[in-house]
């Protein structure tokens, strides 16, 4: 199953899941697609880093790259993604050979990350639940995650995926 | 139900949960042998314990359901564990441990913070932090070893 293909759920299950997403993220465009089963084995930050084996967060119970301060700050996230070759950049537009992830911030604190797909759409893991593919970053703007705050880019030649 | 069945019934796991703050050995024998209590006292005590147990269980379940509902789509581990219902569960102390372990075993979930704070232990190796399946396994082993499961 690809990151943009809908999960093969029964219609009623899919409808219930979509309704719960739409109720939480009130700005979400109806074109979003649920693309995975529930899985609390990884979270949005891990998913942004293409890691489905761990949860990433600067807390004592989660993975965080070695030598990066475990502090829930934008700086700590920049440093953590720096270990995999990402650096801050300006545009969230699709570019050839550039991976992009976006950090959402609420009340000054990181809350969520999304990763750009090759099509230009975005993929987000919603907490301990499922992944979705969505059209724009504004889709997830609101009470839960705040706003997209920082874009991080990585040229394909700089992929230093975390071990 | 015949009275005999009640009189000779062993304490259920759920009933014994409420004695976890005491030394676990011989509690049943000390408190509930027919020699030390009349059948009436024994029967009454058992029902009081069962009612207390039931109320505690309901309190735990209510807090757990509210926590899971309110944090369903949250990505921030910090926000998930700082949710007031999660903090309420931590406040329940060791009595909540059997319920936490049961939920961890059956449904998973971000119980590691609560377990660390309630037990003041952390059996998870530093290198395994974030590996949810491994952490769950390690904590369940700890729970079994310490007779919470």
- Cα atoms found within 13 Å of the Cα of residue B47, Cβ hemisphere only: 8
DSSP readout, chain A?
Answer: --TTSPP---HHHHHHHHHHHHHHSTT--TT-EE-S---TTS-HHHHHTT--S--B-SSTTSB--TTS---SSHHHHHHHHHTTT-EEES--S--TTEEEEEEEEETTEEEEEEEE-TTS-EEEE-TTS-EEEES-GGGGTBTTTBEEEEEEEEEGGG-----
Give the pLDDT of residue A88: 98
Query: Considering CB atoms only, which of A109, A110, A129 is closest to B73?
Result: A129
Overall pTM surpassing 0.90 (yes/no): no
Nearest residue on chain B to A113, alpha-carbon basis: B75
Contacts of A144 (CB under 8 A, 6+ apart): A24, A25, A106, A111, A112, B73, B74
pLDDT at residue A149 in the model = 97
Q: Which residues pair with A39 in a beta bridge?
A: none
Report pLDDT for A157: 75
> Is pLDDT larger for residue B17 or for residue A82?
A82
- Judged by CB atoms closer than 8 Å, whether chains meet at B112 and A61 is answered as yes
When comparing pLDDT for A16 and A117, which is higher?
Answer: A117
pLDDT by residue (tens digit) across B28-80? 444 555 556 677 676 666 766 677 788 899 999 999 999 999 999 998 999 99
Residues of A in contact with B106 (CB under 8 A): none
pLDDT band, very low/low/confident/very high, at A11 (cuts 50, 70, 90): confident
B116 touching chain A per CB within 8 A: yes
Give me the pLDDT at residue B54, please: 85
* CB-CB under 8 Å, B131 with A112: no
Query: Percent helix, strand and coil across chain B, each rounded to 5?
Result: 70, 0, 30
Give the residue from chain B lying closest to A55, CA to CA. Answer: B130
Indicate left, alpha or beta for A22 from its phi (over 0: left) and psi (-120 to 50: alpha).
Answer: alpha
């Amino acid at each position: 199953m690809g990151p943009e293909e809908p999960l093969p759920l029964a219609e009623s299950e899919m409808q219930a899941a979509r309704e719960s997403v739409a109720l939480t993220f009130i700005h979400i465009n109806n074109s979003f697609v649920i693309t995975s089963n529930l899985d609390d084995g990884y979270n949005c930050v891990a998913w942004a880093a293409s890691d489905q084996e761990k949860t990433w967060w600067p807390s004592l119970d989660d993975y965080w790259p070695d030598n990066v301060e475990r502090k829930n700050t934008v700086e700590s996230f920049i440093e953590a993604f720096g270990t995999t070759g990402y650096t801050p950049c300006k545009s969230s537009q699709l570019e050839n050979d550039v991976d992009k992830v976006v950090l959402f911030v609420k009340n000054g604190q990181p809350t969520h990350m999304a990763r750009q797909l090759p099509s230009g759409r975005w993929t987000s893991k919603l907490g301990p639940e499922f992944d979705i593919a969505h059209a724009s970053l504004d889709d997830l703007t609101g009470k839960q995650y705040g706003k997209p705050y920082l874009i991080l880019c990585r040229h394909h030649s700089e992929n230093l995926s975390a071990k | 139900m015949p009275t005999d069945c009640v009189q000779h019934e062993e304490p259920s796991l759920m009933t014994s949960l409420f004695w976890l703050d005491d030394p676990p050995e011989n509690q049943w024998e000390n408190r509930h042998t027919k020699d030390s209590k009349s059948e009436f006292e024994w029967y009454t005590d058992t029902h009081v314990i069962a009612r207390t147990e039931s109320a505690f269980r309901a309190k735990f379940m209510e807090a757990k359901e509210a926590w899971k509902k309110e944090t369903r789509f949250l990505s921030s581990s910090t926000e998930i564990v700082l949710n007031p219902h999660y903090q309420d569960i931590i406040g329940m102390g060791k009595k909540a441990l059997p319920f936490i372990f049961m939920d961890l075993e059956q449904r998973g979930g971000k119980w590691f913070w609560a377990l660390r704070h309630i037990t003041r232990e952390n059996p998870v190796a530093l290198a395994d932090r974030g590996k949810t399946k491994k952490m769950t396994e390690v904590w369940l082993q700890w729970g079994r070893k310490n007779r919470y499961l």
